[in-house]
Chains A and B, each alone.
Chain A
Amino acid sequence: MKKLCFFLFLFVGLGNQIIAQMPNDHVYMAKKDICAAVIYSNTSWNQYWENTLFRDNQNLGTVSTQSYMLMAAYGLKDNTNLIASIPYVQTNASAGNLLGQKGIQDAGIWVKQKVQISKGLNSQFVGGITVPVSNYVSEFMPLSIGNKATDLQVRGMLTYQIPNTKFYTNALVGYHLRGVSKLDRDSYLNGITMINTATADVPDAMEASFKVGYLKWDNQVELYVDHFACVSGDNMRRNDMPFPTNKTMMTSVGIYGKYQPKNIGVNARIQHVLQGVNTAQMTTYSVGLLYQFTLLK
């Protein structure tokens, strides 16, 4: 049975507001198959954790981020896939007077590989990188479209398919080795220290997630919980705005579904942040249109 398009984007690394999508699935494209997708997502929040203080801000109202992403996955081999993506992102605040930002954000490329351990159990490796591809402003948070830092990601996953069923569980741990954000200003506070340069260190982060799901050849439903935590960084000061150096942490839950009867399919997701530090209580909705074809031999 031929596998159809897989796309699972975890909306982690939102930093303070923004999207870093990544493919985190155990489903693979067959060799020489290509799946192309257009995914629209909308993330919004009206409350956030200023350090640990949960608050609203009448001068922001509801902050929303819309993203239009082009993605493609290609079956290099049956057990090795390449994935690439590029998003256009637009932000807006419903109250106050901060000007929304827009632009092409960070392009990403990943490879994922699977090794069968035993019947029903396989392990996977995902490695990739996202790189800012436009000179967007990163220091105008929370309206900036991203952190503007490269993000090298490695992940290990274990997937277990319950024998003779369509049900599976998947556990994942990952690490984000993140670079520096090029600022327009040449001085900023990192914690209580004034740094007199135009680059800010974007802290590395750990992630972990656990999923349970149902997968048939033409459809898939999945529930998951996801945790993302920077390993260093500073906290937001009282009544200050977020900054790329912040030590963000968040735990979210989500549901994902896909329906793809033929070459054309759709997917959708809802994700919500339950708890966080130096981040917003974001809710994300996304829908995608998938199209699969085979590369001519």
Chain B
Amino acid sequence: MKILNKKYKNILSLIPSYLLLLTSYLLLQSCTKLELETVAEPYLPASLNESGGNWKTFVLANGSEITVSKPLDVKDASYLKELDSLKNNVVGKLSPEQSQAVNYWGAGAVYRWNEIARELAALYNLPPAANANGVYPVPDAANPKADPMFPFANPPYTARALAYLSVAQYDALITTWKAKYTYNRPAAYTVDTQIKPLLPVSTLPAYPSEEAVVAQASYQILLAMFPGEADYLKSKLDEAKNIGIWAGKNVTSDVSAGLKLGADVATKVMGRAKTDGMGSANNQALVPGLVEHAKATGINNPWASQESPIRPPMLPNYGAVKTWNFDRVTLEKIRPAKPYVDGSAEFQKDLEELQSIQKNQTREQARIANYWADGPGSYTPPGHWHRIAANEALAAKYSEIKMARVLAFIGTALMDAGIGCWETKYFYYSPRPQQYGLKTSVGLPNFPSYTSGHSTFSFAGATVMNYFFPEKADLFNNYAQDASDSRVYGLIHFRADCTMGREHGKNIGSYSVTRAKLDE
């Protein structure tokens, strides 16, 4: 009896433990929820943009430069054979993976390829490590999976990769729309009502398949930009090109015509990319001359790498890369004025602002600095603005061609912003705050300070977004201002770097808007 009683007491004595554990578990559950990502789903476009085939292209002369051959009539025996094959071999026979793919790509071919490109940019956005001799090896395009991987998808690189992707998609879709509304071949599910469509039904002509066009063009551009991802990109292509067939919309000739068109456009666009000057963007031999030039301009304490071992500056000749929406003369004309130099009262004031933030950085300042940091391992500021643009266009239920339009004007504005900003940075070669004893709460980029890349990118991006979504201009301007301020809060830019970058960015963005207005 006594023994039993003792055991009973032992069990009772365990109660506090279990209560605490239970409370803890409940508490953990309440704080442990991983946020779910917003899932983009297929939608019926708000407009089909029927006259999109007449919009102005970026690289092609126009939407008719590349001829899409006339398709067979829907009463033609060959067409009917394709239709039969669709009915007998595809409809109702999709694997679960194929059904899932239809739903995934159905949110938008341009949208998805842009998302893929941003993810690749993040994966490749890591600066090379120094080797045992203290030398930073240069990434080698012929050996992309070696250490360091090719490319180092830093902001200028990513701006360019996304610009070419978006331009190729846009030019290809203008040509596609031209052919669609020239030939007006209806969707398979319209020709044969027994075919049950798996994506929202519209009157958009089916030939050539827009999914196939975008898949092939995107594949070729991204393969050129991320040559180590051949297998991954091929798997995406193989899925994406068939979406129209799996959805009951396209027959095989819709897809084959799309693939051919996508390839032709990508080849043309890559023709521009190969000769745009990127090949010499990392010409380090220019650096001594740039420093001398800056000193002659009055920069008394030029930029110096703060890394150990000393790292060569990022893409010192990126400023010479070919711009999209203005010419070289304009680029030099709109270059921001000379920065305040060490010793001036204005410079001292900006320095003191940073010293004060370092001492008393608020949590909100740290949050803004971290939110917009978009540093190594991220899709960079250009990627961030592509994401903002793609999500806005998705929310507005834009058609494939309108989605591509927004991203092409954003993308070219961002690349122009990168070129204009880099040209300015290396023209003045101005020092970073860290050359005056400041630390950073976000990490220090390895290139001259003036002007702020974040400010230039973000205000160029916001300016284009304001044109497409004027009702949300306040939001985009606030985003851009936060992104710009974030570099002061993170202690890596002087205030003037950001205010001058802001004006430069707005100006650069306006050239993209002017070009977009030509289609009004």
Q: Residues of A at under 8 Å CB distance from B?
A: 58-59, 76-77, 79-80, 82, 95-101, 109-113, 115, 125, 127-129, 131, 135, 137, 139-140, 149-150, 152, 154, 177, 179-180, 183-189, 192-199, 201, 237-241
- Minimum-distance CB pairs A-B, first 4: A184-B370, A179-B32, A129-B24, A99-B439
Chain A residues near B439 (CB, 8 Å)?
Answer: 97-100
| Sample of 6 further A-B pairs with CB below 8 A, known A112-B17, A152-B25, A185-B373 | A58-B309, A80-B17, A99-B441, A194-B379, A197-B34, A199-B34
Q: Is B286 interfacial (CB-CB < 8 Å)?
A: no
**Given known A79-B13, A80-B16, A194-B379, contact A180–B31 (CB-CB < 8 A):** yes
Given A100, A111, A139, A150, which contacts B20 in the complex, CB threshold below 8 Å? A111
* CA gap between A168 and B436 in the complex, in Å: 57
User: Mind listing 8 A-B residue pairs with CB under 8 Å?
Assistant: A58-B308, A97-B439, A97-B444, A183-B370, A187-B387, A189-B122, A198-B35, A238-B129
Say yes or no: B31 contacts A127, CB within 8 Å. no
**Given known A111-B17, A152-B24, A241-B376, contact A97–B370 (CB-CB < 8 A):** no
Say yes or no: A239 contacts B127, CB within 8 Å. yes
Q: Is B86 interfacial (CB-CB < 8 Å)?
A: no
Given A137, A188, A192, A237, which contacts B366 in the complex, CB threshold below 8 Å? A137
Say yes or no: A240 contacts B126, CB within 8 Å. yes
Q: Is B471 interfacial (CB-CB < 8 Å)?
A: no
* CA gap between A96 and B306 in the complex, in Å: 7
* CA gap between A162 and B127 in the complex, in Å: 57
Give 1 or 0 for each of B3-26: 1 = CB within 8 Å of chain A CB. Answer: 000000010011011001100110
- Least CB distance from B486 to A in Å reads 10
Q: Is B438 interfacial (CB-CB < 8 Å)?
A: yes
* CA gap between A118 and B127 in the complex, in Å: 60
Give 1 or 0 for each of B370-396: 1 = CB within 8 Å of chain A CB. Answer: 110100111100000001000000000
Q: Is B148 interfacial (CB-CB < 8 Å)?
A: yes
Say yes or no: A192 contacts B21, CB within 8 Å. no
Say yes or no: A199 contacts B35, CB within 8 Å. yes
Say yes or no: B371 contacts A186, CB within 8 Å. yes
Say yes or no: B32 contacts A240, CB within 8 Å. no
Give 1 or 0 for each of B304-324: 1 = CB within 8 Å of chain A CB. Answer: 001111000000000000000
Chain B residues near A139 (CB, 8 Å)?
Answer: 370
Across the A-B interface, how many residue pairs have beta carbons closer than 8 Å? 147
* CA gap between A128 and B23 in the complex, in Å: 10
Which of A96, A100, A186 neighbours the largest number of chain B CB atoms within 10 Å of its CB? A96
* CA gap between A19 and B440 in the complex, in Å: 23
For this complex, into which size category does the number of interface residues on chain B fall?
Answer: 35 or more
Say yes or no: B28 contacts A97, CB within 8 Å. no
* CA gap between A77 and B306 in the complex, in Å: 59
Residues in B426-477 with C-beta less than 8 Å from chain A: 434, 438-444
Q: Is B358 interfacial (CB-CB < 8 Å)?
A: yes
Say yes or no: B440 contacts A113, CB within 8 Å. no
- Least CB distance from B259 to A in Å reads 27
**Given known A128-B24, A238-B148, A240-B126, contact A196–B308 (CB-CB < 8 A):** no
Chain A residues near B25 (CB, 8 Å)?
Answer: 152, 177
Which of A77, A112, A140 neighbours the largest number of chain B CB atoms within 10 Å of its CB? A140
**Given known A97-B444, A99-B440, A197-B34, contact A127–B373 (CB-CB < 8 A):** no
Q: Is B27 interfacial (CB-CB < 8 Å)?
A: yes
Across the interface, name the chain A residue whose C-beta is closest to B361: A99
Say yes or no: A197 contacts B370, CB within 8 Å. no
Given A80, A140, A179, A240, which contacts B31 in the complex, CB threshold below 8 Å? A179
**Given known A97-B440, A98-B443, A137-B366, contact A113–B21 (CB-CB < 8 A):** no
Chain A residues near B35 (CB, 8 Å)?
Answer: 197-199
Say yes or no: B370 contacts A95, CB within 8 Å. no
Chain A residues near B37 (CB, 8 Å)?
Answer: 195-197
- Least CB distance from B358 to A in Å reads 7
Say yes or no: B31 contacts A128, CB within 8 Å. no
Q: Is B36 interfacial (CB-CB < 8 Å)?
A: yes
Q: Is B147 interfacial (CB-CB < 8 Å)?
A: yes
* CA gap between A101 and B25 in the complex, in Å: 29
Say yes or no: A96 contacts B379, CB within 8 Å. no
Say yes or no: A239 contacts B122, CB within 8 Å. no
**Given known A76-B16, A197-B37, contact A184–B367 (CB-CB < 8 A):** yes
* CA gap between A99 and B379 in the complex, in Å: 23
Say yes or no: B440 contacts A150, CB within 8 Å. no
Residues in B118-176 with C-beta less than 8 Å from chain A: 118-119, 122-123, 126-129, 147-149
Q: Is B491 interfacial (CB-CB < 8 Å)?
A: yes
Across the interface, name the chain B residue whose C-beta is closest to A184: B370
Q: Is B2 interfacial (CB-CB < 8 Å)?
A: no
Q: Is B517 interfacial (CB-CB < 8 Å)?
A: no
Say yes or no: A129 contacts B28, CB within 8 Å. yes
**Given known A80-B13, A197-B37, contact A98–B377 (CB-CB < 8 A):** no
Chain A residues near B440 (CB, 8 Å)?
Answer: 97-99
Say yes or no: B27 contacts A129, CB within 8 Å. yes
Chain B residues near A97 (CB, 8 Å)?
Answer: 306, 434, 438-440, 444
Across the interface, name the chain B residue whose C-beta is closest to A135: B363
Say yes or no: A238 contacts B370, CB within 8 Å. no
Chain A residues near B123 (CB, 8 Å)?
Answer: 189, 192, 237
* CA gap between A96 and B438 in the complex, in Å: 11
